[in-house]
Structure 1
Amino acid sequence: MYGLVNKAIQDMICKYHGEDTWETIKEKAELEDIDFFIGMDAYSDDITYRLVAAACEVLGMEADEILKAFGEYWVTYTAEEGYGELLDSAGNSLGKFMENLDNLHARVGLSFSELRPPSFDCEHTTENSMELHYQSTRQGLAPMVIGLLHGLGKRFHTKVDITQTSFREQGADHDIFSIEYEDSQDHDQ
């Protein structure tokens, strides 16, 4: 994963739990030799997984909880780190944004040459619901998708209710989420 992901984890931990907690997590993850992460540099996925595992241990939280919190945090973090216009270009509502997420990742891939993004396929089931098919080469990140959807709900002032209906970790070939959403403001202007 790119350093931007690890920087966001660091930022979230420091913001909500303090610098000392971050240093403890880094030590538990055996990453104390890394002073900082470079956003545009590719790092081994193992580093990110080790940070999450160490955060679970230090914070006394389950990985699912941390990944959900991180997914939600990621939406705000990337907008503040200079990717706001790029996010804006992907759509002005949850439904439109999700339809364009693979295109957004393709555009990001122009800057991040080693990017291995997940794939999101949206199937609108009604005007205010969709089925989201999530496929990734990485294991165990479905909870992060739930957090991302909640973060996008906040971004678009949209109430979201998410139910995972298919689980890759239980043998399905990919994860599927049923999403019901309700815009609190009109975005079709």
Structure 2
Amino acid sequence: MHGLVNRAIERFVRDTYGRDVWIDTIRRLDMGLTEFESMMIYEPQVTAQVLAAVGTRLARGRDDLLEDIGTYLVSNPATEALRRLLRFSGVDFVDFLHSLDDLPERARLAVSDLDLPALELLDQGGGLYRLHVGCPEGDGPRFGPVVVGLLRAMADDYGALAVVEHQGEAGTCEILEIRLLDEGFAHGRAFVLGAGGGAP
């Protein structure tokens, strides 16, 4: 598992619940470390153990925890760079949704060994979309719940009213349903092209 994934879990806990909660949780695993290196590769079971330990410490189910991490990646000021990268993908929420198929490849252009799951958007018409999220091989964590949290946060960011739900797995992918109720429901967060212009 790429270190960026483990680092995201670490930063989520530190920024949301505090450094002491993270240190206490990671030390209980006796891994010989208290922080992850972003550019290292870790065994998938390390990520699984960390997620399980964090879930126990926070009394959060695994999928709920992953959704929270997805939301954090867009909404927390500490992750503004990722939020800006995603906002560059589309001028509105619908445009952003249609760019999702290309997201894994764009991520690899930035980090060549970052292997994100394949994404495939299906437009069902009438504001209804289905997103197929590729399932990981082996023991890696499922990314579907992370994408649910990320999409909900991005809808808010664009000012769109959308319902995003996880519909389970089918074959080699997870199925997400996105129902767009009102694309102009509210004013989205400020976003301009200039560096530093996207402050909330």
TM-score category of the 2 structures, normalised to the smaller one: 0.7 to 0.9
Partner of 2:165: 163
Partner of 1:9: 9
After TM superposition, the structure 1 = structure 2 runs for residues 88-103 of structure 1, keeping only pairs within 5 Å, are: 88-103=87-102
Q: Deviations over 1:30-56 (max 9, x none)?
A: 33x224323233333322221110011
Q: Helix, strand or coil for the counterpart of 2:110?
A: coil
The structure-2 alpha-carbon separation of the partners of 1:165 and 1:56, relative to structure 1 and needing over 3 Å to count, comes to closer
Q: Helix, strand or coil for the counterpart of 1:49?
A: helix
Q: Deviations over 1:135-180 (max 9, x none)?
A: 1324533222221221221222222212333424xxx432212211
Partner of 1:48: 47
Residue range with higher mean Cα deviation, 140-149 or 46-55: 140-149
TM-score by structure 1 length? 0.82
After TM superposition, the structure 1 = structure 2 runs for residues 97-116 of structure 1, keeping only pairs within 5 Å, are: 97-116=96-115
The structure-2 alpha-carbon separation of the partners of 1:129 and 1:79, relative to structure 1 and needing over 3 Å to count, comes to farther
Structure 2: which 5+ runs fail to align?
189-200
Percent identity reads 25
Alignment partners' CA distance in 2, 1:113 and 1:78: 25
Alignment partners' CA distance in 2, 1:180 and 1:86: 23
In structure 1, what residue type is equivalent to 2:43?
S
The structure-2 alpha-carbon separation of the partners of 1:115 and 1:88, relative to structure 1 and needing over 3 Å to count, comes to same
Alignment partners' CA distance in 1, 2:186 and 2:126: 15
Q: Alignment RMSD, CA only?
A: 2.5
Partner of 1:154: 156
Aligned length: 183
Contact residue 134 and residue 175 of structure 1 kept, 8 A: yes
Alignment partners' CA distance in 1, 2:56 and 2:84: 36
Structure 1: which 5+ runs fail to align?
none
Q: Deviations over 1:113-154 (max 9, x none)?
A: 222211111111224221111113245332222212212212
Alignment partners' CA distance in 2, 1:77 and 1:131: 26
Q: Helix, strand or coil for the counterpart of 1:121?
A: strand
Contact residue 135 and residue 172 of structure 2 kept, 8 A: no
Contact residue 4 and residue 37 of structure 2 kept, 8 A: yes
The structure-2 alpha-carbon separation of the partners of 1:158 and 1:174, relative to structure 1 and needing over 3 Å to count, comes to same
Q: Helix, strand or coil for the counterpart of 2:152?
A: helix
Report how far residue 106 of structure 1 moved: 1.0
Q: Deviations over 1:54-77 (max 9, x none)?
A: 011111221111111011112235
TM superposition outliers: structure 1 runs of 4+ over 6 Å: none
